[in-house]
């Protein structure tokens, strides 16, 4: 078995932004030469998340609304005394910062309606995502 | 190290249904011949989730109620214009579509009160779950 | 590739307690001798969780408040007839019981503000966390 890893740098453009990174992750998998195993996408930040779902614009707005309902931006958080982004951290805790996906015959085994998203909750910022692949060539 | 993978097809019977798949996953692990490593259970759908918790019927009802509180079925979601299942997608985003479990001496290292569940949020449907095991025979 | 695994026993001291276990996990990684791969931290309990975020005391209080808002302790849960800890299970389902982290050149590839936390939701108790590392020496 082999291990391959690559860091994906990105620039986000809004405070809250849901970005489809499936093709970037596919590029790393192709560079890896690994054909069967597992792939991990990990965000190296505590105010962002990685999730998998359908890339449909109205649904992405619904996801933003759900998060605004569960963790409102303007609530009185203790952490905001330190750094005015507690909502960004709390949303990151709720969604989680990584996803692990099976790799079969050289491709991620995603379903038809599954895309991988980077969820920015405290942008615009420069961000780094680590993609790791473990498996057989 | 070896990699073994198998797809588990299933048929769900209700719109929302929490199904204990621990014994099915154990069957895949036994077929793999892998005795030490990690195991990933991945749902290939964006309106379902995988979670680990206790298999107790009242608790499963509590989980359904929690999800109904956090993501009500009848709210006015934008995605419902496309496909009337935004609540199913949002619940999937909240719970996540996969779980990774350690494998020790041929068994999943689950605690006494831990079972693996497939959470159907848009059934009844035919579903496919991918179980992948990486490790040593 | 190699697999290394170790169980971390711990004693929690409050009903709800968020404990930074990063240095304990780093210790396991150092014992493993693995320098590149992935690491999984798995809680063997259904009333606790593992999450990654910033270790800042006001933020940790904000996380506890968010969970109290999403899953209040005193609501009328069906499971409480069996065992008076439904809120602990529900919070565990929401946050998830494991995290997977990339390992690069002998270290976890965590960002500057990322720590690994064990979240106790039904303490004080004795708990067991399983750390598994798969990769190359």
pLDDT given at position C136: 96
Average pLDDT taken over every residue of chain C: 97
**pLDDT above 70 coverage of chain C, percent:** 100
pLDDT given at position B69: 95
Domains (range + CATH), chain A: 2-136 (2.60.120.460)
Mean pLDDT of C1-10: 96
A-chain residues near C37 (CB < 8 A): 3, 132, 134
Q: Which of B34, B55, B66 to mutate to test the interface with C (most CBs of C within 10 A)?
A: B66
Q: Which residue stretches of chain A have pLDDT < 50? A: none
pLDDT given at position C1: 83
Nearest CA in chain B to C47: B53
Nearest CA in chain B to A103: B132
Which own/partner contact pairs does B78-82 have at CB distance under 8 Å and 24+ positions apart?
A: B78/A58, B78/A59, B78/A61, B78/A62, B79/A56, B79/A58, B79/A59, B79/A62, B81/A58, B82/A56, B82/A58, B82/A59
pLDDT given at position C91: 98
pTM: 0.98
**pLDDT above 90 coverage of chain C, percent:** 98
What are the two backbone dihedrals, phi and then psi, of residue B61, each rounded to the nearest 5 degrees?
A: -65, -40
C-chain residues near B134 (CB < 8 A): 134
pLDDT given at position C92: 98
C82-127 pLDDT, tens digit per residue, is 999 999 999 999 999 999 999 999 999 999 999 999 999 999 999 9
C-chain residues near B135 (CB < 8 A): 3, 134
Chain B: nearest CA to A38, how far in angstroms? 8
Q: Which residue stretches of chain B have pLDDT < 70? A: none
pLDDT given at position B80: 95
User: How many Cα atoms sit within 13 Å of B125 on the Cβ side?
Assistant: 18
Catalogue the E-assigned strands of C12-97. 17-20, 36-43, 48-53
CA torsion through residues B70, B74, B78, B83, sign: positive
pLDDT given at position A34: 98
């Amino acid at each position: 078995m082999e291990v391959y890893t690559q860091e994906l740098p990105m620039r986000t453009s809004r405070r809250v932004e849901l970005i489809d990174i499936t093709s970037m992750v596919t590029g790393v998998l192709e560079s890896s030469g690994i054909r069967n195993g597992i792939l991990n996408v990990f965000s190296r930040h505590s105010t962002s998340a990685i999730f998998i779902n359908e890339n449909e614009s109205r649904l992405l707005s619904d996801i933003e609304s759900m998060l605004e309902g569960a963790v409102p931006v303007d609530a009185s958080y203790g952490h905001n005394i330190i750094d005015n982004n507690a909502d960004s951290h709390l949303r990151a805790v709720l969604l989680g910062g990584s996803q692990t996906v099976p790799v079969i015959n050289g491709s991620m085994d995603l379903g038809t309606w599954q895309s991988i998203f980077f969820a920015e909750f405290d942008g615009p910022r420069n961000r780094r995502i680590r993609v790791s692949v473990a498996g057989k060539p």
